[in-house]
Amino acid sequence: MEKFASPGKGNGLRLLKAVKPGELLYRAAPFAYIVSKKRLGGVCEHCLRRKERLLRCSQCKVARYCDAHCQKEAWQDHKRECKCIKDIDPNFPPDSVRLVGRIIFKILKQSVCPSEELYSLSDLQSNVDELSEDMKEGLRHLAKTLQLYLKVEIQDVSQLLPALDIFQIFAKVTSNCFSISNGELQDVGVGLYPSMSLLNNSCDPNCVVIFEGPQLHLRSIREMQLGEELTISYTETVMPTPERQQNLKRQYCFECDCVMCSTQSKQDADMLAGDEQAWKEAKEVINKVGAPKSREEWEQVLLSCQTLLKSNTSRLPDTNIYQLKLLDLAMDACINLGLWEEALHYGNRTLEPYRFYYPGFHPLRTIQMMRVAKLQFHQDMSSQALETLKQTYDLMKVTHGTEHSLMQNLMILKDEVEAGMLLK
């Protein structure tokens, strides 16, 4: 692929050859990345894998690692920030402040980064002129927070290299950073991948971004021709067009004119089908749910979902997006509470809506099918689990690739299911 001038969009990426669905188009290590604040202590700071017991940095007491190898590999990125974290204890910086701190330390080292192969940090667009005054004020506040965070290592951030404009860096990070997710698409960190910032948005994209640890993989999910532009979705696509447009305008400062946005009426009507008052009540409940941790919190979430789902039986189809979110939330609550049979009931109800909204290859549908397969196996429904796993494999080989660690997990589960069937 190559960088090119995309009409009406600035720069973009296009193919130098025709490709089929499932091809790995690009592999990128981050220029800089961090574990998100809400995941601290639960995943390794280097490889981003989840593990029950992690080694703790003896200095800052915050960073944690799988083992001595990961700790050693991460030291160059953690060395200077370690002092900063220790100095501001017990406070901890926002994700963007910690990420920009790492970016600055990397710039000062003047090290070459492979992720700048097609587009460098200095090339990134900040969109400062398009930002609202509220957003600009927010970035100024973050710049001041950064000054306090770095003071033990850098006395005066404003005296750094002339080309190092902290406000501009924050603006670039806001517009260009990627949320790093694990194989199951749960956010674990934030990273900057300059070359991948060339990818333009489409709410009906031809590519997906998947992560293996901090490494970004760009994969095709459609057959594409020579010269075709590569696109990804910057935002959740299963939401009404006005909400998608609002999100894109607020964070990325543009209005999307993709096919899906241009033909919004039919898709939006499906998403909001049913009784308006019912889906507004569902939306309100969903927006109030934070990040449940205790059993009591999950029990309350499940009770709220059950109450609404019961009252919505004849008011909302499962394809209504807020009804679908309720089903997903109820499924999560049941899994966290060990209510496997009920979790499977809700999971089964989500499969048709997922197929409806993601008819081709999409990571979200892939993950949902694998979750349902696990629940079927847990309920001794071996033949159903095996069939679901086979369908999941066909999706995953495109969305994740056969070498991804999640594919290896799928194959292990498939072997367990088949072994259990032989013993019966």
118 in helix, strand or coil?
coil
φ/ψ of 398, rounded to 5, equals -90, -50
Is the pLDDT confidence value at 163 over 60? no
- Please provide the average confidence, as pLDDT, over all residues in the chain: 92
**Distance, CA of 143 to CA of 173 (rounded, Å):** 12
List, in sequence order, every residue forming a beta bridge with 231; answer none if it has no partner.
Answer: 200
Task: Name 235's Cβ contacts closer than 8 Å, sequence gap at least 6.
Answer: 201, 203, 244, 247, 248
- % of the chain beyond a pLDDT of 90: 78
Is the pLDDT confidence value at 298 over 70? yes
pLDDT in tens, 169-187: 999 999 999 999 997 888 9
Contact 298, 337 (CB under 8 A): yes
Which of 170, 59, 68, 71 is closest to 121 using CA atoms? 170
pLDDT in tens, 2-51: 999 988 888 999 999 999 999 999 999 999 999 999 999 999 999 999 98
Angle in degrees, CA 64, 290, 101, rounded to 5:
40
Confidence category of residue 160, pLDDT binned at 50, 70, 90: low
- Segment 85-98 shows an average pLDDT of 93
pLDDT in tens, 317-343: 999 999 999 999 999 999 999 999 999
- Segment 407-421 shows an average pLDDT of 93
